[in-house]
Amino acid sequence: MSQRESNLLWLKDMLEHMMHCQEQLEWTEDEETVQVLTEAMLRDLESCRRLLSETIRRRRDWAEPAAV
């Protein structure tokens, strides 16, 4: 499995996890549960952002020597 395929699979898993958290947020009324789920979703979003930023940076770094 290539790094790209691995990253896409990881992102898919993260999105599925976030969808499950959202579903739980829709029916829960417990403030502590809302806080835990919200924090989990924010961590997931930050992890996704880091992966995408790193991937973009690597692609840019890889493409720059070819442009020179």
- Maximum C-alpha span of the chain: 57
Tokens 């952002």 locate to 49
Tokens 């790209």 locate to 4
pLDDT at 66: 59
pTM of the model: 0.76
Residue 15 CA, distance from chain mean position: 7
Residues above pLDDT 70, as percent of the chain:
94
Q: What is the DSSP letter of 30?
A: -
Tokens 């947020």 locate to 25
pLDDT tens per residue across span 5-35: 999 999 999 999 999 999 999 999 999 999 9
Task: Read off the tokens for 66.
Answer: 């070819």
